Structure 1
Amino acid sequence: MNFELKTLRLDGAASVKSGALIVLVSEGFELGEDAVSVLIRRAIDAGDFKAEGGLLQTYGAARVTSARLILAGIGDGSPASVRKAVVAAMAALKGSSVKELVICFAAAPQGAAVHAALQAASDATYVYTATKSKAEPSKLARVQLGVPDAATVRDTFEQTVAILRGVELAREWANRPPNHATPVHLADAARELGKADRFDCEILGPKEVSKLGMGAFMAVAQGSDQELRLIVLRYNGAGKSSAPVALVGKGITFDTGGISLKPAPEMDEMKYDMSGAASVLGVFRALAELKPAINVVGLIPACENMPDGRAVKPGDVVTSMSGQTIEILNTDAEGRLVLCDALTYAQKFKPRAMIDIATLTGACVIALGGVRSGLFSNRDDLADALMQAGMKAQDLCWRMPLDDEYAEGLKTNFADVANVGGRPAGAVTAAKFLQRFVEDTPWAHLDIAGTAWKGGAAKGGSGRPVGLLVQYLLSQAGEPVQAEKKAGDSSKGKKKRA
């Protein structure tokens, strides 16, 4: 989708040539004498439209050049109201032949409202076509966003457009069937991104991963005919002395559950178990445009989890790259096994912070649904920064506990740690497992099992949490690295072996 920003007031909107014009009307907006204002006033007086949640579609309105005109009420102009209004207006255009669209704010919007409008328009126009023989992309090719003064929101507009391109890439990879999104395919996508300015890309195969001693990662992959790949992307936006932020995305390109086989219903959706990896690709797509002054490392441990005769078995004990031994009690708890080795590998870059992103637990879906991603962290300042970034990006998360007592369930008589801790607080015990492998590095874990995928009629990837992550990186760009933990940070960051 091509987005453009222009200065446009209602008196000019009436004469704009486009397939459709959506006017976002807020409460208290002072109407003028132009054609659109007159129409709004008449509709309000007749009781056919209201600024709080109203929607009115007209065709061939007098003195309005655009054939289709939609009035959408945005109430107080909050991001939630704007998003709801744009979604409703875009739905009214569904099935039309509109190729160019103008979305015009009647009154000057806040930056967050601009972000919401663009996000809603992008969501509504995304069409998956990669594996359809006769599918057509969305007819709508260009959206112009009109505001009274473009200069005041240009930075927000440009950031949002870059983020949305990253979101779209993440959605695309999460939606692709598992035979079209193997570890090798993900590696090829990363190589393509790696051609951008300030980027580097390295792909490690089974031999290199074996030399590194990634026994947990290799254990998950050993039941599949598809070779694993460890993808290493680097964005070099700051000086070499500036410690990077490391993003680690779970890349299980298909998850059968292994020997601990999943139920057949909805197993097809396990192609999205690499949404953490897809979000890392999406973030790097956005970085290529935004070019912030920060260094970022993206790590994707990619493999399938299959029930072959060579597959890892419940009760097997493997040795991770960190040297810790792990008893695998459930082979369907594989994501934490590939992540733990990737987190250990990430520490070679001496990162200022590590953030792993994973569709890790069904328990997090039960806890938070599809509204907020689960956030776990061993640093209060890192958690706060991610929460703030999520609010700014309208890609929300919620902090969950990491009390040491939750690690009790991971004890075992046969290894240093078990890979599962029972059903109670399953999202927390999974995070406690990962925490063992981060040592003293500032670390956060985002469980996106509930937010990375939509079910029902909207079935498909959401592209979350690309927006959250990019906003976090932008907030950290150019800031000094803090080597020591701040006073007042949570003591939960201290490593404790169960």
Structure 2
Amino acid sequence: MPVDVSSTVECSIAPAGDVPTDVLVLPVFEADEVSELAGVETEDGEIARVLNAREFTGRLYDVYYVPLAGARARRAALVGAGRRASWTVDRLRRVAAAAALSLRRRRIERAAIVVRGVDPYEGAQAAVEGITTAEFNGALYKTSEPEGAPAREIRIVATGADATRLARAVEHGRVVGESCNISRALCNEPGNVLTPTVFAERAARIAMEAGLRVEVLDEARIAELKMGLLLGVARGSAEPPRIIVLRHEPAGAPEGPVLGLVGKGVTFDTGGISIKPADGMERMKDDMAGGAAVLTAMRAISILRGPIRVVGVIPSAENMPGGRAVKPGDVLTSASGKTVEVNNTDAEGRLLLGDGLWLAQQLGATHLVDVATLTGACTVALGKLASGVFGTPDAWLQHVRATAERAGDRCWPLPLHEEYFDQLRSEIADMVNSGGRPAGAITAAMFLREFTGGLPWAHLDIAGTAWADEAKPYQPKGATGAGVRALTALAFSAFPV
């Protein structure tokens, strides 16, 4: 997995004009005045001329290089920050990524990025996350050399900030950005490479290197635990299922809360007997994006010494239409004892998660969050800009939503009215696994709620956000690392009482 970060990222609290570097990256708002960039160059310098002549307008993600006068940098890269009123930490993250991609294309070796208009520490962390994720090479199997090269040294400039706090923010951003890249690399792997067994092997290696406790449950152990939902999904494949269990148990951590993270790990999803259309099926290699998010968030939590105990559960399988595959009409019994009539074998992710949520409770979780590329219905409802978030009670739902938004994982809540469960009623079992097309994302969440044991629980449906269908100025086409920042941030948040 090509996820190594080539740049050395440091920080500076000096005035921007005093930072020695090749290129000084300046976020510039639309209608910025030259006086607002004081300390970088004199009024009659090239930046002033470019802004006054409207050669550069600050349009979002535009990059314009100019020579500098009166600064220790040779050039400035003016990066469009858009309207000042829309400026946020998340936008700074994307602007930093757009700048880093531009630096890469030009093979610039040293650069410094100025944090402005936001809290210096949140801004520094976000900028480093953006820079780090911009260095990701998703062309796993191309034999040609990638375009450009990452900068050898990037400095984050937050004039007047506390140097120690700034260094911590930079390190936090580096670890989270690297974890996003590892998640993206896993999601980009083809299904013939990343089977459930290989996913578990890689997860174990990543977890041990990060200092996590890890256990991999094989098919025999899964059967002992009577996890009939997971076993049912895996039946049609020649590849056996696995469950990856991760534990972060810091010394001196309180008994509670214990955060339980559960991620869907379907390494390839054909839909099973209810087979998907051929067009676009190759994308189904990323149906383990939720599992990758849990794994890599746990990595970040451990490296950054998260203060609370966290358990991660990743049930992993292939969903294939083999001769032994589960059929529409079959009834499966979950580890919790609940029975499920399978009326759609392409609604398999919720089956894995049902057993995974039960296992997280057995491991001591007091608060649950699951993350999955679960429903196309969520993409229809929200598009590719925001994940769906569901949960109970409302205080926990709102906390998860707010934490995710602050971390840069956009999400939007959808309701869980009791009447929606009527779509899941079965004549012969406790429920069916699919409520049909109407409110499909909601009924999927209602299904999962049945396996949460009444604990505070939230569900992130990242079906729309886990994959970028087209390149953006700040992000290439492919896996995005959705959910990693949100789950990491939760482990450092104050849970509602």
**Greater Cα shift, 117-126 or 259-268:** 117-126
1:227 aligns with 2:240: yes
**Per-residue Cα deviation, 1:431-481 (whole angstroms, up to 9, x for no partner):** 1111111121111111110111111344311101111111111103xx6x9
Residue 412 of structure 1 deviates from its aligned partner by 1.4
SS in 2 for 1:48: coil
User: Match for 1:24 among 19, 24, 27?
Assistant: 27
**Per-residue Cα deviation, 1:160-199 (whole angstroms, up to 9, x for no partner):** 2221121111111111111221111221122113324652
**Greater Cα shift, 356-365 or 113-122:** 113-122
Q: Which structure 2 residues correspond to residues 66-77 of structure 1 after superposition, within 5 A?
A: 66=73, 68-74=75-81, 75-76=83-84, 77=87
Which residues of structure 2 form unaligned runs of 5+?
none
Residue 144 of structure 1 deviates from its aligned partner by 1.7
Q: Distance in 1 between matches of 2:140 and 2:385?
A: 28
**Greater Cα shift, 451-460 or 205-214:** 451-460
User: Match for 2:10 among 4, 14, 39?
Assistant: 4
Residues 51/257 of structure 1: CA separation in 2 closer, same or farther (3 Å cut): closer
Instruction: Please tell me whether the aligned partners of residues 166 and 283 of structure 1 are also in contact (alpha carbons under 8 angstroms).
Output: yes
1:317 aligns with 2:324: no
Residue 224 of structure 1 deviates from its aligned partner by 0.8
Aligned to 1:35: 41
Q: Which structure 2 residues correspond to residues 267-278 of structure 1 after superposition, within 5 A?
A: 267-278=281-292
User: Match for 1:101 among 86, 91, 111?
Assistant: 111
Q: Which amino acid aligns with 1:98?
A: I
Residue 406 of structure 1 deviates from its aligned partner by 0.3
Residues 270/108 of structure 1: CA separation in 2 closer, same or farther (3 Å cut): closer
Instruction: Please tell me whether the aligned partners of residues 314 and 331 of structure 1 are also in contact (alpha carbons under 8 angstroms).
Output: yes
1:48 aligns with 2:58: no
Please list every run of at least 4 consecutive aligned residues from structure 1 whose deviation after the TM superposition is greater than 6 angstroms.
Answer: none
Residue 387 of structure 1 deviates from its aligned partner by 1.4
Instruction: Please tell me whether the aligned partners of residues 203 and 232 of structure 1 are also in contact (alpha carbons under 8 angstroms).
Output: yes
Residue 34 of structure 1 deviates from its aligned partner by 5.2
SS in 1 for 2:208: coil
1:449 aligns with 2:463: yes
**Greater Cα shift, 141-150 or 331-340:** 141-150
1:385 aligns with 2:404: no
SS in 2 for 1:178: coil
Instruction: Please tell me whether the aligned partners of residues 203 and 295 of structure 2 are also in contact (alpha carbons under 8 angstroms).
Output: yes
User: Match for 1:170 among 183, 205, 223?
Assistant: 183
Residue 407 of structure 1 deviates from its aligned partner by 0.5
Q: Distance in 2 between matches of 1:174 and 1:161?
A: 20
Q: Which structure 2 residues correspond to residues 129-278 of structure 1 after superposition, within 5 A?
A: 129-136=139-146, 139-140=149-150, 141-151=152-162, 153-196=166-209, 199-237=212-250, 238-239=252-253, 241-278=255-292
**Per-residue Cα deviation, 1:328-365 (whole angstroms, up to 9, x for no partner):** 11110000111111111111123120111110000000
SS in 1 for 2:368: strand
**Per-residue Cα deviation, 1:36-74 (whole angstroms, up to 9, x for no partner):** 763322322333334565956336555666555312243
**Per-residue Cα deviation, 1:304-348 (whole angstroms, up to 9, x for no partner):** 001111111111111111111111111100001111111111111
Aligned to 1:470: 488
Q: Distance in 1 between matches of 2:48 and 2:350?
A: 58
**Per-residue Cα deviation, 1:101-159 (whole angstroms, up to 9, x for no partner):** 32124678544433443343334322124333344486114322122134264443332
Q: Which amino acid aligns with 1:10?
A: A
Q: Distance in 2 between matches of 1:227 and 1:52?
A: 51
Q: Which amino acid aligns with 1:195?
A: M
**Aligned-residue RMSD, C-alpha:** 2.5
Q: Which amino acid aligns with 2:14?
A: L
Q: Which amino acid aligns with 1:305?
A: N
Residue 229 of structure 1 deviates from its aligned partner by 0.5
Q: Distance in 1 between matches of 2:80 and 2:225?
A: 58
Residues 438/81 of structure 1: CA separation in 2 closer, same or farther (3 Å cut): closer
Report percent identity of matched pairs.
36
Aligned to 1:356: 370
**Per-residue Cα deviation, 1:66-96 (whole angstroms, up to 9, x for no partner):** 5553122435353355345445544544532
Instruction: Please tell me whether the aligned partners of residues 210 and 299 of structure 2 are also in contact (alpha carbons under 8 angstroms).
Output: no
Q: Distance in 1 between matches of 2:145 and 2:436?
A: 45
Instruction: Please tell me whether the aligned partners of residues 216 and 337 of structure 1 are also in contact (alpha carbons under 8 angstroms).
Output: yes
Q: Distance in 2 between matches of 1:120 and 1:270?
A: 26
Instruction: Please tell me whether the aligned partners of residues 468 and 480 of structure 2 are also in contact (alpha carbons under 8 angstroms).
Output: yes
Q: Which amino acid aligns with 2:143?
A: S
Q: Distance in 2 between matches of 1:409 and 1:33?
A: 63
Aligned to 1:127: 137
**Greater Cα shift, 92-101 or 390-399:** 92-101
Residues 96/228 of structure 1: CA separation in 2 closer, same or farther (3 Å cut): same
Q: Distance in 1 between matches of 2:117 and 2:394?
A: 38
Q: Which structure 2 residues correspond to residues 55-66 of structure 1 after superposition, within 5 A?
A: 55=62, 57-58=64-65, 61=68, 66=73
SS in 2 for 1:392: helix
SS in 1 for 2:274: coil
Instruction: Please tell me whether the aligned partners of residues 55 and 70 of structure 1 are also in contact (alpha carbons under 8 angstroms).
Output: no
Q: Distance in 2 between matches of 1:24 and 1:105?
A: 8
**Greater Cα shift, 227-236 or 282-291:** 282-291
Q: Which amino acid aligns with 1:350?
A: G
Aligned to 2:428: 414
Aligned to 1:326: 340
Residues 180/240 of structure 1: CA separation in 2 closer, same or farther (3 Å cut): farther
Q: Distance in 1 between matches of 2:190 and 2:61?
A: 39
Instruction: Please tell me whether the aligned partners of residues 355 and 446 of structure 1 are also in contact (alpha carbons under 8 angstroms).
Output: yes
Which residues of structure 1 form unaligned runs of 5+?
483-498
How many aligned positions are there?
476
Instruction: Please tell me whether the aligned partners of residues 262 and 294 of structure 2 are also in contact (alpha carbons under 8 angstroms).
Output: yes
